[in-house]
Structure 1
């Protein structure tokens, strides 16, 4: 993801323990609770633990086939987009990096969304639009994730 020619990043720091954040990210069924633009998910298995595991999601009405490419507990969760209906990228991957920011007080975790793309000609023309749309989707989703993780941790 770090070497892609077109990258999008957005970062949020949440008041939740890193472990609680990770549990929600790895549990595919939980995505419907915190990612507002996702309307369905079908995963094999439901709890991702290793690369190669797959899911099909519906985001903003678009059906997207994804495959886990990096799962490092409490550090990195990344997936490749294997099939989607938009002609904007030859290759695409997305992920979340987690960093524990707790410093003796309340738990804090920084969540960074990274979108990495090898754009097509159309994708190059649409980079500003893609950046705006993905940032607008992932920023609130990561905040929602943090709120849910904090609530789960306090139970």
Structure 2
């Protein structure tokens, strides 16, 4: 089971998703049927925000004074995460922040949703320990993202 908390911090999100919380929960429900999540009880949060807030978060936590499309804040170190994923206990994965200004395609709402889905999954794979600084980690992360995207589409 996957439990998700959604906070809409920027009203512009309604340009892509009429009801962001319902849309995300539907996608996550599909994802929870994937074998990767069978017998796992996880929880994570998503902040739907804009340039200003994500830039502040990026500066505060990553020491990077720029706006970005997605930020992930894993709650657990990779070693502890692996242990937790083997148990059936509920645990908190972390937080994801998504930036509407980097996702919104004013000409094509379908493309905006596709980009949103990709970034949601990208953020989630980071919470699950994914990294892309080392080539092998990048390849493994890409495979997991592709698998998860198939589950939600």
TM-score by length of 2: 0.38
- Higher relative contact order by CA 8 Å / sep ≥ 6: 1 or 2? 1
TM-score by length of 1: 0.38
Q: Which has the higher strand share?
A: 1
Q: Which has the higher helix share?
A: 2
